[in-house]
Amino acid sequence: MYQQEMARSGKALFFIRGTYIYTIIAISTLIAYCTRDIGPFATAQGDCFWFWLSFGVASAGAIVRIFTSGWAALGTSGRAKVAAEASELNTTGPYSLVRNPLYVGRILNFTGLAMLSGSWVFGALVFLLAVLVYERISVYEEEFLRGKFGEAHAEWAKNVPALLPRLHGWIAPKYPFWWKRMIWREQNKLFLLATGVFLTWFARTGFNLEALTGPWVMVYAALVVIRFAIGGLKMIGFFKELS
């Protein structure tokens, strides 16, 4: 009964999972604006360490997702919003260490973005909520995979943990790394990571337009251009086989 309740709540959370990152970035920006703090420490050195730790955690999550998306089989690990889908069972590459590597990446990514607010409380809260949310979503998806792949799923799940990666048992990816698919899947998440860094910084200036100078602003402006260029490629059908 409890498993069924987890799966039901997981299905509802699966449907709205695309909104989580925007909510976290918005709250992080608001906290940064209200406190003007880079981190929770009393010294500039401590706060600088906190910023780079936050950025590192968020980036680690993005890296996990990049490799998972690039190695996953076509028709799996997709961006479906209505229901789970899978053309085959991924068991190699990152999936040989953890059954839900994309969700591990997302938990790290969300936690890092929350930490960029400068608040350890918000960072800890987001981490705990992300674990609870993706635990339920993974239960829902596992029911789908169990029903579709049966014994193959049971054999894989027997040895591979759901969300806490094991440190052994790596199996080389079945497919070569596909850059086009990775860009299609992850370009928006990478752009949102950069946006989270930019907005929390800008909020600490009080959204002062005169502060919009320097190399970091130029880097973000370049990323905006790249983001729109990828959107243009999508419109002309460059990613047609992946949509």
pLDDT in tens, 158-205: 999 999 999 999 999 999 999 988 998 899 999 999 999 999 999 999
**Is the per-residue pLDDT at 81 higher than 70?**
no
Distance of CA 196 to the CA centre of its chain: 13
Portion of the chain with pLDDT greater than 70, in percent = 95
pTM: 0.92
What are 68's two structure tokens?
């998972």
Distance, CA of 14 to CA of 25 (rounded, Å): 19
Q: Are 75 and 88 in contact (CB under 8 A)?
A: yes
| Rounded-to-integer distance, Cα 155 and Cα 243, Å | 31
pLDDT tier, 73 (very low <50, low <70, confident <90, very high otherwise): confident
Q: Crossing angle, helix 179-204 and helix 101-115, to 10 degrees? A: 20
Q: What is the CA radius of gyration of the chain?
A: 19
Q: Is the pLDDT of residue 14 over 90?
A: no
Q: How far apart are CA 149 and CA 215, in angstroms?
A: 51
Indicate the pLDDT class of residue 78, thresholds 50, 70 and 90: low
